[in-house]
Amino acid sequence: MTASATAVTTPPLEVDMVSLTVPVCRTTDIASNGAGFGTIPHATPTAIPESGSSGGKDATDAQAFATSFSPLVDAIVATTGAADAAWDTAVSDHDLARVIMFEGRRLTHLCSALSILPLTTESLGLVNIAARALNNRRAILSETAELVKNQPGIGRSMDAERQDSSAVLTGLESDLDNFANAAGVTSFASAPFTAVNPLLGVRFDAPAGWIAVRNGIDIVILAPSSQQVYSARGLGPDAWKLGTAVRIRRFRNNPPWELADAAITVDALYARLGERVDDRSTSVGGVDGLLRIYEAVDRDWSTYVAAAVLDSVTYLFEYGCPDQSESTCVNELSRLTESVVFSDG
């Protein structure tokens, strides 16, 4: 008789209850441009226009807003649904803490994405509704985190507020439909966009469904909900916590500096993201580069890092990805780096 395969179950991720907190929710440019931001330009999504598009400026602005807001609404609804499902099946304070941890971290990314939407006078009301809903959810999570940490066994005492919050968050789908109908927007399916950051001196094309996020002077874009794992483990290693996402950074180096020099330092930079399991040559925007893969076995997670050196600057293109989506991440990172255009930053 042939023995049947034994399913391997990954143990739940441990959460430090003492340090459990909910990150801030910055939904406006004013909040995001506080200390540490100033007038630094950030990654800005610019929709790639479809051929044959027409209409006045108001119609074009409404179309741009709806197209940018649509994937964000999808992510808000998916995050809320997954968090509520996990919340309903939680049986211990540690289970609740895991939900608070992953939903709170996801929430801060969604708030940040909302802060850089292309606003119009007409869309301001809808953005304000979304901002209030996200901030309200953050407040509920924060208060619940304190209960879970300090008063064991009563973490569900705010479930009624949580349910009301979920109704508002998922209702953003209908709110967007109503906005589109009033503005005469007939279709607002997700569209590709070009992410631009003059400070870093780089631009690249992002696929439809991805979301640009304000994140200091780096560029961060989040993958669509279909590529996310909505759990504490699905955020990736502690040194990442962006979920399935791409981050682009740039470092200035003392000349002379070449790719071989960057190769020496990359492993040290990414040691906290796992063990290096692959090393190969690649190209970034037509510039010779390297690609290294770091695997965090305990998180079922891999980080793909493409590095290129231009003059005395090292560019790093990082793709954090759950192992179950390995082939998708490899292919998408390749397309992204092929689209890169470097400029003087």
Residue 230, classed as helix, strand or coil, is coil
pLDDT for residue 15: 87
What span, in angstroms and rounded, lies between the C-alpha atoms of 214 and 42? Answer: 7
Q: Which helix (H) or strand (E) holds 145?
A: helix 124-150
C-alpha dist (Å) from residue 273 to 135, 234, 319, 344? 30, 14, 11, 30
CATH architecture classification, 43-49+56-183: Up-down Bundle (1.20)
The residues, any chain, with a CB within 8 Å of residue 174's CB and separated by 6 or more, are none
pLDDT for residue 4: 37
Backbone torsions φ then ψ of 13, nearest 5 degrees: -70, 135
DSSP 8-state secondary structure symbol assigned to residue 205: E
pLDDT for residue 276: 96
**CATH says 193-342 is which class?**
alpha beta
Low-confidence stretches of the chain (pLDDT < 50) are 1-8, 30-42, 48-55, 345
C-alpha dist (Å) from residue 72 to 47, 127, 274? 14, 11, 30
What span, in angstroms and rounded, lies between the C-alpha atoms of 306 and 334? Answer: 9
The residues, any chain, with a CB within 8 Å of residue 302's CB and separated by 6 or more, are 274, 277, 293, 294, 295, 296, 320, 321, 323, 326, 329
Cα angle 92, 96, 100 (rounded to 5 degrees) comes to 165
Percentages helix, strand, coil for the chain (3-state, rounded to 5) are 45, 20, 35
- Provide CATH 1.20.120.660 ranges for the chain: 43-49+56-183
- Provide CATH 3.40.1000.10 ranges for the chain: 193-342
